[in-house]
Structure 1
Amino acid sequence: MQYALLLSAITSGANSSSLTPGFFILNGVPGLEAAHIWISLPFCFMYIIAVVGNCGLIYLISHEEALHRPMYYFLALLSFTDVTLCTTTVPNMLCIFWFDLKEIDFNACLVQMFFVHMLTGMESGVLMLMALDRYMAICYPLHYASILTNRVIIKAGLATFLRSVMLIMPFTFLTKHLPYCQGNFIPHTYCDHMFVAKVSCGSFKVNAIYGLMVSLLIGVFDICCISVSYTMILQAVMSLSSADARHKAFSTCTSHICAIVITYVPAFFTFFTHCFGGHLIPHHVHIIVANLYLLLPPTMNPIVYGVKTKQIREGVIRFLLGEKIVFT
């Protein structure tokens, strides 16, 4: 039934093409227009940290043979996803705040919408892969290198990417073929799927249903895999006889656990307020949290891994000193 509704919405697009606007107006943070400059400062600062930190991690991992291990390959993939994700929204948001450039072409809005949701799905998938990596490293240490080969890592990364692309692509078709006869003002800083759909004068029920399906297929599935992985990791760690061995084994997971919390807490807040708390939480709070949801993980992940991961920390220090990295 749901897929029939999807097909009906897509095939009826020809009838609403004359109601497609040439551009949208992104209003920024409604109610806080006078404070846009002040709001932009922390976002700009966080974006600079995100770009420098993630690009630095990618460079360090790619150029140092000591970091050519599955764990760091997944970290490099997470860093690439993070820096791409925040770059799809923050520069455009700063243009709104600083130069009042609120217009965005209709097709450009759909492209931004696709990349925002595709990359958030990709980020969730990479966090899941990193959990499976920690599971293999702790529960099957003797087979770790033979199972997680470079070929397997590439296939896992490609599968995660294709999953996000295939599931998010229908968003653009469903949204493009909605009739827009109520104006073209979007009360947001970027083109979020449901915010764009709500501008339509037609029914966006199919968009809402499909959005919920995607949330289940990506978010809930990944969280379940992460939960199962860490349940088995905890069982394996607690079975170790030495307290020092338990601490050493579990310490390799702390950075990843922090990344999970940083990513999913604002994501859950955004999702549940979008579904159930729209009338209880001020709209400007929802918009600011939605931006933090996209910017906080890219900003914090390099810092967390730089502080919590000994190999990364030593690699940065040795790299800055111009020394060759050799880990024991």
Structure 2
Amino acid sequence: MYLSSRMITSVSPSTNSSFLLTGFSGMEQQYPWFSIPFSSIYAMVLLGNCMVLHVIWTEPSLHQPMFYFLSMLALTDLCMGLSTVYTVLGILWGIIREINLDSCITQSYFIHGVSFMESSVLLAMAFDRYIAICNPLRYSSILTNSRISKIGLTIIGRSFFFIIPPIIHLKFFNYCHFHILSHSFCLHQDLLHLACSDIRFNSCYALMLVICILLLDAILILFSYILILKSVLAVASREERHKLFQTCISHVCAVLVFYIPIDISLTMVHRFGKHLSPVAHVLIGNIYILFPPLMNPIIYSVKTQQIHTRMLRLFTLKRY
């Protein structure tokens, strides 16, 4: 059934407001075919990140700071998949098309919180690589289990605490426009577009969060790799330089996998948004949400020797 026949008229915020998730509007008859690749992607996200967590958890030799941070990244990617799977696949399977306000706000909270958490974890991993390469003799004394636990708690608090004010505001807005969301899941900016209340606080606050978390993290990661590069180039042996670079390649790929889709989506939306079809917007949103959780387990399984070896052992049941 097409969206034009399903539009939801405005209701007051005191009622149980519901919103229509568009999905790939106008392509409803192709949903059974779309569900196959999307179901496969979600299965790979869940399986891949669970396997990384299992390997790190069950292998005592991997109980090191680097792999603790990797387990945080895998847990973050797993949460991102779980936060969107029920609406994306629910639409493609024809199970759901509407979501109530409270569920929508909750999903928005976790999507944005997990995105900030992934950025924070990548920054912590950059700090880990900086200490390992630039100050290796003090590595174990700096990154103790106690300090790693504190970093983990700080990441969670930083990611999920500061987004509470704008998320709570969403509950009290008047949504007087048609209750139609432009994606297969709820995003903060989509709800703002439907509100006819004063949204200046939310808009300014969201911009501040993007600058203070995503942009700042990207700058600090770049700065850490400038220092790492300077330290590596000072090493006389070519073989040692190659070995040091190899310890960073997985993290560099994970950083690119996270930030490149953000840059592409922001560029496409701001420069060409008016000319893009709704389907293109939905596709860009899904790439932004699903690409990092899909690729990170693959990157670390291929590029990190310890994970690669344990993964082979897990699949082949052979001793190496």
Same fold at TM > 0.5: yes
**What residue number does 1:168 align with?**
163
Q: Any conservation in 1 of the 2:13–2:173 contact (CA below 8 Å)?
A: no
Deviation of the 1:324 alpha carbon:
6.9
2:183 pairs, out of 164, 169, 188, with: 188
Q: Structure 2 matches for 1:120-269, cutoff 5 A?
A: 120-269=115-264
- 2:300 is the counterpart of 1:305: yes
Q: Any conservation in 2 of the 1:29–1:284 contact (CA below 8 Å)?
A: yes
Deviation of the 1:86 alpha carbon:
1.2
Q: Helix, strand or coil: the match of 1:159?
A: helix
CA distance in 1, matches of 2:72, 2:298: 16
> Aligned pairs, how many?
310
**What residue number does 1:43 align with?**
38
* Shift in alpha-carbon separation, 1:207–1:278, aligned structure 2, 3 A: farther
Q: Helix, strand or coil: the match of 2:38?
A: helix
Deviation of the 1:27 alpha carbon:
1.3
Opposite residue 318 of structure 1, the aligned amino acid is R
Q: RMSD of aligned C-alpha atoms? A: 1.8
**What residue number does 1:10 align with?**
none
**What residue number does 1:86 align with?**
81
Q: Any conservation in 1 of the 2:73–2:121 contact (CA below 8 Å)?
A: yes
CA distance in 2, matches of 1:91, 1:56: 21
Opposite residue 124 of structure 2, the aligned amino acid is L
Give ranges in structure 2 of 5+ residues lacking alignment.
Answer: 1-10
Deviation of the 1:72 alpha carbon:
0.5
CA distance in 2, matches of 1:37, 1:164: 36
CA distance in 2, matches of 1:303, 1:132: 22
- 2:121 is the counterpart of 1:111: no
Q: Helix, strand or coil: the match of 2:183?
A: coil
**What residue number does 2:18 align with?**
23
Q: Helix, strand or coil: the match of 1:301?
A: helix
CA distance in 1, matches of 2:203, 2:279: 22
Q: Any conservation in 1 of the 2:21–2:99 contact (CA below 8 Å)?
A: yes
Identity of aligned residues (%): 38
* Shift in alpha-carbon separation, 1:173–1:275, aligned structure 2, 3 A: farther
Deviation of the 1:23 alpha carbon:
1.5
1:202-254 CA-to-partner distances (Å, cap 9, x unmatched) read 34333222111110011011001100110000001111111110000010111
* Shift in alpha-carbon separation, 1:268–1:73, aligned structure 2, 3 A: same
Deviation of the 1:38 alpha carbon:
2.7
**What residue number does 1:77 align with?**
72
Opposite residue 136 of structure 1, the aligned amino acid is I
Q: Any conservation in 2 of the 1:128–1:225 contact (CA below 8 Å)?
A: yes
Q: Helix, strand or coil: the match of 2:71?
A: helix
Q: Helix, strand or coil: the match of 1:220?
A: helix
Opposite residue 211 of structure 1, the aligned amino acid is A
Q: Any conservation in 1 of the 2:108–2:186 contact (CA below 8 Å)?
A: yes
Opposite residue 121 of structure 1, the aligned amino acid is F
Deviation of the 1:276 alpha carbon:
4.2
Opposite residue 213 of structure 2, the aligned amino acid is I
Q: Helix, strand or coil: the match of 1:183?
A: coil
CA distance in 1, matches of 2:55, 2:26: 43
CA distance in 2, matches of 1:136, 1:31: 52
CA distance in 1, matches of 2:212, 2:95: 38
Runs of 4+ more than 6 Å apart: none
Opposite residue 225 of structure 1, the aligned amino acid is L
Q: Helix, strand or coil: the match of 2:274?
A: coil
Q: Helix, strand or coil: the match of 1:241?
A: coil
Deviation of the 1:17 alpha carbon:
6.0
Give ranges in structure 1 of 5+ residues lacking alignment.
Answer: 1-15
Q: Any conservation in 2 of the 1:114–1:171 contact (CA below 8 Å)?
A: no
Opposite residue 32 of structure 2, the aligned amino acid is I
- 2:290 is the counterpart of 1:295: yes
Q: Any conservation in 2 of the 1:51–1:83 contact (CA below 8 Å)?
A: yes
* TM-score of the pair, normalised by structure 1: 0.90
Q: Any conservation in 1 of the 2:53–2:75 contact (CA below 8 Å)?
A: yes
Deviation of the 1:167 alpha carbon:
1.8
Q: Helix, strand or coil: the match of 1:104?
A: strand
Deviation of the 1:291 alpha carbon:
1.0
Deviation of the 1:321 alpha carbon:
4.7
Q: Helix, strand or coil: the match of 2:186?
A: coil
1:121-180 CA-to-partner distances (Å, cap 9, x unmatched) read 000100110011001101011111110011111111110110111221122212112111
